[in-house]
Amino acid sequence: MRTGEVFALTWENVDFENRTIRINKTVYCKIKDNEGRCFLGTTKTVGSSRIIYIYDTLYEILSKFKKCQDINRRFYKSKYKYYYLKQTKNKYGKLIEYKIIEGNNKKKNVKMVFVKKYETYIGADIIKYP
């Protein structure tokens, strides 16, 4: 997987029952404004959208990581951050990408896989500083 594909993963892309991950988007950052700077767009090429299989080690890690996020969501309550996707269209009205916006929109919330404490999402920047 490309770095942008990894950090674009949401929990709805992970199928624990069939042990697969559906790759259908990538994340990239633009100039920051008051709504943030991360966007989800299509994968690099049409052939980049794919399903990959999860083997035992990754399955165990993702399962534990999801449980940990669920526990943190309940424990931190109001400190926990939520995100939703806002459609961005071109001048012709065609959907071109989704902006990842912090805020609790219960109908549109998206649960990103790779987040920091309190579910803070910073896109692929998360790997720049460790």
**pLDDT, tens digit, for every residue of 43-90?**
888 888 999 999 999 999 999 999 998 888 888 877 788 888 888 888
- 129 falls within a domain: no
Indicate whether 7 belongs to any domain.
Answer: yes
Q: What is the largest CA-CA distance in the chain?
A: 46
Phi, then psi, of 73 in degrees rounded to 5 = -60, -40
Give the pLDDT confidence score for residue 128 in this predicted structure. 67
Total domain count, the chain: 1
- DSSP one-letter code for 113: S
Domain membership of residue 100 (yes or no) is yes
In a domain, 130, yes or no: no
CA-to-CA distance for 69 and 75, rounded, in angstroms?
Answer: 10
When pLDDT is cut at 50, 70 and 90, the band that residue 29 belongs to is: confident
What span, in angstroms and rounded, lies between the C-alpha atoms of 125 and 12? 22
Task: Using pLDDT thresholds of 50, 70 and 90, give the confidence band for residue 118.
Answer: low
Report yes or no on whether pTM surpasses 0.85.
Answer: no
Domain holding 113, by residue range, is 3-123
Most confident residue range from 41-45, 74-78, 105-109, 125-129: 41-45
Does residue 128 lie within any of the structural domains? no
**pLDDT value at 98 more than 80:** yes
Backbone angles phi, psi at 68, to 5 degrees: -65, -45
